[in-house]
Each structure stands twice: as structure tokens, then as C-alpha cells.
Structure 1
């Protein structure tokens, strides 16, 4: 992303030391004794509700018990058996809405077992070892193309390789990782963790990575199906929805996903320009990540403007509270109607909204916010459907990711039915891999 250097947008708003502190690890890892104390709080429930709440079905009581007995590497193996990206999920998964919300301690005391931090403690311990914990089965002679090296694609590729298939993993960017590398806040995955996790995952062997290969331009589905025994599409959602408000093409009105990607790849955040008055349009995790990071870079006034009420925000209440704690203003029931400015944005005009029972509508009452930088975070769209049947705006799938075309599976954000979470994408990639394996080996 290139942000025009219009008045009000500047780099180096804060000293380098302060920016480094601002972007430090959001949750420091447990020390061993802290992990032991946290693990001892687990009741090790039979039919534990936390397991049901986990999209990948990790045996949470078992791995916590393994931590409590001093075997974190065994705990990590329990996690990785179900979720090979358990290290990243421990950092970015909304555990407060999933496993921790379901925890019996949460219901009884309002303080759940910190499952996410315990998961990180275990996975970090095993990933620090030199050898990969899995070995490949005997070669099957089958080849599979996996298009998209984000969470779904990586999980699928790893499981297929483990079953003995040869996988070619394509990605349109210059490096793998998908949203884990380019799309989440830098303070959630520090120390280049996303890249290190990919390198670790590829250690199983049998996966050939090809970057700079994008479906629809560099790759065609016909060629992929002709060259491989099966294809798994995990292309994500590369397009960004338009505001459909006059003035959205003015300078310094940009996509939040591009801002986050640029920030994540920046070698020196003191050189990254940010506005003085920043407005983020949207209500999801991308909106929160863009807003918080703008504030951490030194923006004076940062506002998230969302067209519905607080409860409708797809960003969790924890993330909303995090934004507020960093000084971000949250405005609800407002929608953009115009972007004002002479060439570059100077103000955002918002209209208050209300739901009269027949849908969300503008009330006619408006307010203007000063803005020298506006980020759009109002959802993403599928860039190419490769001629497959769609369900809404996503590729239609049945079962474990089967598309309308034989021999082609899909999963992650590009496929119907998911909830656009990293952990869900991992589950879909894993399950599709096992369905592909069964089909290739003639057991389906």
C-alpha cells in the first residue's frame, strides 16, 4: 500500500522506543511456574464444554493435564494432532468467545482457565525443538495442488503431506502465511512468528512452495486439475467492498487490509506514515486492528464508525474493549454518506442509523468528523470463483469442502459456511485433506 503524504499524515509521530513498546507482545508468554499454576485451575471435565466449543476439537483437558504433569511437548502434540497451526491460534483465536467462554470456571467464577495462553506455552515448547514432530507416510504417487498458503491451505497441505501425497502449495503473494502473515495486528504475533511457523510446518517435507502464483492470472483451474490428482482452493477473499459514498476515491482513503499488510511487512515502524485524525469504517477484527495500530503509531484521534449497534459487531467484546483501552473512540449506528475534501480527505460525513423492524435505515441526522486518513474495513469479496458454483459471494461447498466440480475442494474464507476465523479455516483445511486422501485412495 502506498499512502499519499497529504497534510496531517506523517511518519515518526512517536519515538522508536515508544513504538517498540506499543507493539510488544500483547500477552506475554507464561513462565513454567505460571503455566503450572494456570493448569492446576482446570477441572479436567468429562465431556468438557471447552472441547465442543473449539472448532478444531482439541482435547483441551488432556493437553492441560499434560502441562500440569510437566510434559508441555506432549501437550503440544495433543494440540497439533488436531490443529497444526495451534501456535498462531493460541495468539489470535478469540478464545474469550469460544473455549474460554465455555469453560466451567467461567460459568462458576467469571474467570476461565486461560486456555489460549496454556496452548501457546505448550506449542512454543515443542516448536523450539529442532525436529518436526510428524513423519510422512509412504509415498502414494498422488499429487495435490493447494492454492493459497493461508491457514486453510497450510493445514490442508500439511495433512496431505503427512498422508504421503506430494503437494504443490501456490500463493499469489511473495511469501506464504496468508492473513497470519499479512492480515492481523503486529502485536498479536511478534518476532516474525507467522513466518517461523510456516517454516516449521514445511519441515514435514513433501510440500513444494511456489509464490507469486495467483488463481485467475497465473493459474487456471483447468490446468491445475489436469496436472494434479486433486485441487484444494484456499484463496481467501482478496477484494474489498466499496463504501458507495461520494468521495471515497479521495487521497488517503484506503483499504484497512492494505494498511495492516504494509505495517506487518515494515522493517521500521517509525517510517510508516499515519494520520493525525483517523477514521476506520467497519465493525470487524480488521477494523479494530487498523484502529488500534493507528493509535499505537501515534495518531491523536482514532474513531471506529460502525453502522449497527455494539452487539452486532463481529469483533469480540474483548477486542472492542482493547480498542477503547488504547484510546480508540467507538461510534455505533453511523454509516458514511460522504467523504469531503479538496483532493484529499478532510472530513467524513456520517449518518445515524436505526432499525425500524424492516431493516437498517438512515435517520437523516448527520455528523462530520475531522479526518486526514480513512480506512475501509467493511468486508472482503472473492476475486475469482474459477467458474465454480457460488453460495452468496463464496464458493459453495458440501461435506468436507467439496465444490461443484469433481476433484476440487475449497475451504477457509473463500468457501461457504465458515465464520472467517483462523481456527475454523484450519479445521476446514484439515478435514478437506482427509476427504481428498480418502477419495484418492479409493475409500470414498
Structure 2
């Protein structure tokens, strides 16, 4: 039983429509033509281009910036999309501050890198808005059929590259809409104007790709049957499981999964209808934790706290993401691990944490000292897990490593003619740009096997 007596206060309509529209407006407004030309002129066009090497998809960054400088945004977009068909979304959500921009010579020399992400958005948005036909053409049909499981960045990247090579692709998606993380998991203020849906429609414009929604592996599909009926299979179903919170009272009303809450927010047409607490606590240290916290604040929560069990430097969210949270009024507290969620009549009223210290060997230990924070609503953002139910019947053939699908450098699994990529593979990252590269690399491997 809780010692906190303040009644729970979770309700919709904390802010008016105009304020909500402002709070959820574009985090970074798009560059104008003049701004893009000026920014492109800042690039040194380095011979060894450290930015190119830092890009997981290998975009020729100096080339596309030079094309923007020559007032050719369409050509720049094609250069980007040749390597990353999700260039528009990645321009918005890719952590450029820890990838290409971090190694930019301007950053090293002057402390202010070329705004590579913003320039990429300028080019790709221009093409999406003006293109009358898909920039890439399909090769002659090969007669080969490939099944892709999962319509997220990895699956659709694989499907697009295979279609471009002349193969026929069927994409099976468990949810009602394609897009995966881009559609359901990105903060609404990072991906405005239905960009995720528009980018998927653009990608499918190449032809040769059929998408079937409401089709889940292990329920509606079975891997053995797919491997038998198709020439190749790509698995890109992401992480469907949510890590459990090992704390008393975790199932009290008002304690919820941050991933599911963000997905609901992304799909709503009326932000004012979404209930949010007056005092919100988010448990976790990754980008999902930041996205949940910032959006709770944007909806009108008065007090929002991110509580992370380790120190600031160990957070999965970058320093930039942490700064975004702080500037939006989110309190970041560190070295706190959850002990107990307090509730009155089954409703969340607060949460107690134990303070922690990190040993010289990196192990985490509790100090015995506790802290209690009053809260109406608690979001758990402590990671997701791969659910192997859909491949369990093939467990003897499909090797897992640390609970995820084991693959080689070409993203081939231990099962013949089955590839995998994205978050569901061992070593997978929760970055869109990495998933895109997985899908592209697997597609080229599949193509080589089928036609070689």
C-alpha cells in the first residue's frame, strides 16, 4: 500500500489545439533554398571524406552536398537514395551528431559541423515534392519471387532493392500499416506531415512490390512454408517484445509501456484526446525514453522526469537528445533504479528508486538509499526484445545468438535461402539507418545467389 495520498490525475485536453500544434511542430524547420546553398558552401569536400565513412549506408556525402551547391537538389537526392532509400526519414531521425557530423572536419576544426542532416532533408524533400516518376527503374523481370517479413525500414529497404533488380517481392506486415519503426515508433515532433507514410508510398512506386498487412509470422505465416514457396526469404520483423520491469506494483493502472504509448500517439488524429498525467516519470535512458518524456511534456504534463539507473555518460540517448529533453522542461535524474511503484486503489501515485553506484568493473550496485517521486503516470522504456515464436518451429535450422537471429556479414541466416536484418538480428541496432543498410546488403546477397 502506498504512503502517497495525492489522487491520480491522468486526463486529456490539458492544452488547447493551438498550443499542441506549436509543441508538436517540426523540431527543425526545413532549410530554404538560400540557406541550403549557403550551408553547402561550408563543406570542404574532403578528399578522404570522414563523413562518408561514418555513414552506415555509405552515402557519398561530399557529392550530394556539391550537387546542392550547384543548385541540383534532384541530383543530390538521387545520390542519397542510391544508398539509402529512406533518406528523407533518416535526415530527420538519424543521430548525425554522433555519426557523419561528429567526424566532419568543420566540427573538428571549428566546433560547428556542416549541417549534413538538414542538407539531406532539403534534397530528399525536394524530390518527394516534385518527382513525377520514381527515380529508379526496375530491371527486366527475373522470374524470382522473394518473401519479406516485416514492412519496417529493413524489410522495405530489402524489398526496394530486390524490386530494382527485377525480382517480384511480397512484403508481409503484422500491423495494419507498413512503415515499422518510422510509422509507429518515432516521436511525432521529429516526423511531421505524414512523412513516414509518404516515403513508403514513394518507395513502393518502383513497382514489383506487394504489401499484405495483418500477416504475422507464427500466426498467419510459417517460415518453412515461406522458404518452400519462395525463392528466398528476408526476415525483418523487428522487436515485438517489451522488457519487463522488475519492480513491485509494475502492473498498477497508470504504469504503461512507452513504445505502445508512442505508437498510439503517432496514429491519433486528435492530440487533445490523448490523456496524460500531471506528473510523469519515464524509466529508461534511450531515445524511446526521451521521446516519451518530451511528448508527455508537449501534451501538457506539468512535471516530467526521466530516471536512469546509470550515469549520464552511459545513457543510450545522445547528448543532443538529452539536451532536447532538458530544453523542453524534462528533468533528467541519474543513478536511480526502480524498486516499487506505489498505488492507491490500483492507481499509480508514485515510484521509489534505490540510488546506485557503478564500480570500476562497470557493475551496478545499490547503495541502500531510496528516493520517492510522486507520479500519476509511469512509462517503462527499458528496452525491447526479440520474440522468437514465429521461428520456433524452425529452431533447429534457424540459429539464434543471445536471443536474436544469427547472421553473417551478408545477413544470411543458418537456414538455406533465408536472410535477416534490422533489430531482430544479433548485433542489430535501433537505428533506422542501420536497418536500411541491413536490408540493402541482404538484397544484394539474395540477388547474387538467385542470378549468380
Q: Is this a same-fold pair by TM over 0.5?
A: yes
The correspondence for 1:409, drawn from 413, 419, 429, is 419
The structural deviation recorded for 1:230 is 0.5
Deviations 1:260-312 (A, max 9, x none): 00000000000000001101000000000000000000000000010111111
How far apart, in 2, do the equivalents of 1:127 and 1:204 lie? Answer: 13
Q: Partner of 1:259 in structure 2?
A: 261
CA contact 1:294–1:302 (8 Å) conserved in 2? yes
CA contact 1:14–1:297 (8 Å) conserved in 2? yes
How far apart, in 2, do the equivalents of 1:321 and 1:193 lie? Answer: 24
Q: Partner of 2:135 in structure 1?
A: 133
| 1:346 match: secondary structure | strand
Pairing 1:355–2:358 present: yes
Most deviating of 351-360 and 361-370: 351-360
CA contact 2:8–2:348 (8 Å) conserved in 1? no
Q: How does 1:30-179 map to 2 (within 5 A)?
A: 30-128=31-129, 129-179=131-181
| 1:436 match: secondary structure | helix
How far apart, in 2, do the equivalents of 1:327 and 1:172 lie? Answer: 36
How far apart, in 2, do the equivalents of 1:323 and 1:423 lie? Answer: 22
Pairing 1:374–2:373 present: no
How far apart, in 1, do the equivalents of 2:343 and 2:260 lie? Answer: 22
| 2:388 match: secondary structure | coil
CA contact 1:25–1:189 (8 Å) conserved in 2? yes
CA contact 1:166–1:206 (8 Å) conserved in 2? yes
CA contact 1:339–1:348 (8 Å) conserved in 2? yes
Deviations 1:29-63 (A, max 9, x none): 11100000000000000110000000001000000
CA contact 2:101–2:115 (8 Å) conserved in 1? yes
Q: Partner of 1:18 in structure 2?
A: 19
CA contact 2:8–2:349 (8 Å) conserved in 1? no
CA contact 1:338–1:349 (8 Å) conserved in 2? yes
The structural deviation recorded for 1:404 is 1.2
The structural deviation recorded for 1:356 is 2.4
Q: Partner of 2:186 in structure 1?
A: 184
In structure 2, the gaps of 5 or more residues are: 1-6
How far apart, in 2, do the equivalents of 1:178 and 1:384 lie? Answer: 18
The structural deviation recorded for 1:384 is 2.0
The structural deviation recorded for 1:357 is 3.0
Q: Partner of 2:410 in structure 1?
A: 400
Aligned residues: 437
CA contact 1:177–1:198 (8 Å) conserved in 2? yes
Pairing 1:345–2:348 present: yes
TM-score of the two chains, using structure 2 as the length reference: 0.96
How far apart, in 1, do the equivalents of 2:364 and 2:8 lie? Answer: 35
How far apart, in 1, do the equivalents of 2:126 and 2:114 lie? Answer: 19
The structural deviation recorded for 1:213 is 0.5
CA contact 1:215–1:384 (8 Å) conserved in 2? no
The structural deviation recorded for 1:391 is 1.2
The structural deviation recorded for 1:7 is 3.4
The structural deviation recorded for 1:163 is 0.4
Q: How does 1:288-307 map to 2 (within 5 A)?
A: 288-307=290-309
CA contact 1:170–1:210 (8 Å) conserved in 2? yes
Q: Partner of 2:438 in structure 1?
A: 428
How far apart, in 2, do the equivalents of 1:315 and 1:356 lie? Answer: 22
TM-score of the two chains, using structure 1 as the length reference: 0.97
How far apart, in 2, do the equivalents of 1:53 and 1:420 lie? Answer: 17
The structural deviation recorded for 1:232 is 0.3
In structure 1, the gaps of 5 or more residues are: 1-5
The structural deviation recorded for 1:227 is 1.2
How far apart, in 1, do the equivalents of 2:359 and 2:443 lie? Answer: 46
